[in-house]
Amino acid sequence: MPETPFPSTATSDPLRILITGSAGFVGSHLVERFLNEGHTVIGVDNYISGQVSNTDLFRDHPRFTFIEADVSHGIPYTGEKLDWVMHFASPASPPHYQQFPVETLMVGAQGTQNGLELAHAHGAGFFLASTSEVYGDPHVHPQPETYWGNVNPIGVRSCYDEAKRYAEAITMAYHRSRGVNTRIIRIFNTYGPRMRPDDGRVITNFVHQALRGEPLTVYGDGSQTRSFQYIDDLVEGISRLMMVKHHEPVNLGNPQEITMLQLANIVKEIARSESVIINKDMPLDDPIRRKPDISIANSILCFIPSIKIENALRKIMVISDE
């Protein structure tokens, strides 16, 4: 299904926005959104988990510039004054960040500080992509932003969890001590086009397994839950948060909670797949329940996810099958 990412539908004064992780799943959708709105975008990525094909979508756009760089070592931008620095660089799926644990910690620590320094130098806003993983395996359900979490600081997932927790801390420190205009989002499970085929997260796994007629791998007994939001809902929430003054973390997710066994059966039905479901041992530190409390996002952004998982999965499966 061909994509047409360049229609001009500007809805605000043109901005100059630098996005780290621009070749990643979420980053590439932000590039598309902002170019469509008439903004100028500078993308930065080192392709540890991003895809060259995502950069190629926009490479010929007159308002898009790409810098290949590891933001942990610095952001080599010397252009015109920026309005926003948006830090979305990081491996985000367990197979990827467990493959690159040091790099994941570095991009959450030094990469975040380099982004904050750049924003401070330009008098720009700084937007941090954090994660629901800061809640760990939660004892509070659903998870509000006031919950401090239950994270294993030395476990196999800690390179990602603790990197994001530190990133939030240094972002708030730059806001409080240096006046940087910051935003922080905690992203709950998000899916959609442009995810890597080897992403390793559950929706990607189930879709590709079902379309190939392979067994669907369910960990544990399948009773663990997640709350899935489609990428378009997430991008809409991000865009709205840029327009309001709120500096503390905001959950962005879909509070519709389903079990992994329910999800497997939904995927099978939509794919018309005869794949069997098999069970494997639970991964270490895998959360049992995950559901966002989006009261703050609803209150300050009028954020209500609108895309049903069944409709989104049909769209993804058409794209995946082509």
The pLDDT assigned to 282 comes to: 82
Encode the chain (322 residues) as per-residue pLDDT tens digits: 233 333 333 446 899 999 999 999 999 999 999 999 999 999 999 999 999 999 999 999 999 999 999 999 999 999 999 999 999 999 888 888 889 999 999 999 999 999 999 999 999 999 999 999 999 999 999 999 999 999 999 999 999 999 999 999 999 999 999 999 999 999 999 998 888 877 778 888 888 899 889 999 998 899 998 899 999 999 999 999 999 999 999 999 999 999 999 999 999 999 898 899 999 898 877 788 889 999 999 999 999 998 888 888 988 886 555 5
Kindly give, in sequence order, each residue whose CB lies less than 8 Å from that of residue 111, ignoring residues fewer than 6 positions away.
20, 71, 72, 87, 89, 90
What is the CATH architecture assignment of 16-192+228-254?
A: 3-Layer(aba) Sandwich (3.40)
Sequence-separated (6 or more) residues with CB below 8 Å from residue 107: 70, 71, 72, 89, 90, 163
Write the secondary structure of 254-269 as one string of H (helix), E (strand) and C (coil). Answer: CCCEEEHHHHHHHHHH
Provide φ and ψ at 267, rounded to 5°.
-60, -45
- CA nearest to 132, candidates 305, 295, 290, 283: 290
| Residue ranges per structural domain of the chain | 16-192+228-254
Enter the pTM of the model: 0.91
Beta carbons of 67 and 76 less than 8 angstroms apart:
yes
In whole angstroms, what is the distance from residue 99 CA to residue 196 CA?
15
Residues involved in catalysis: 160
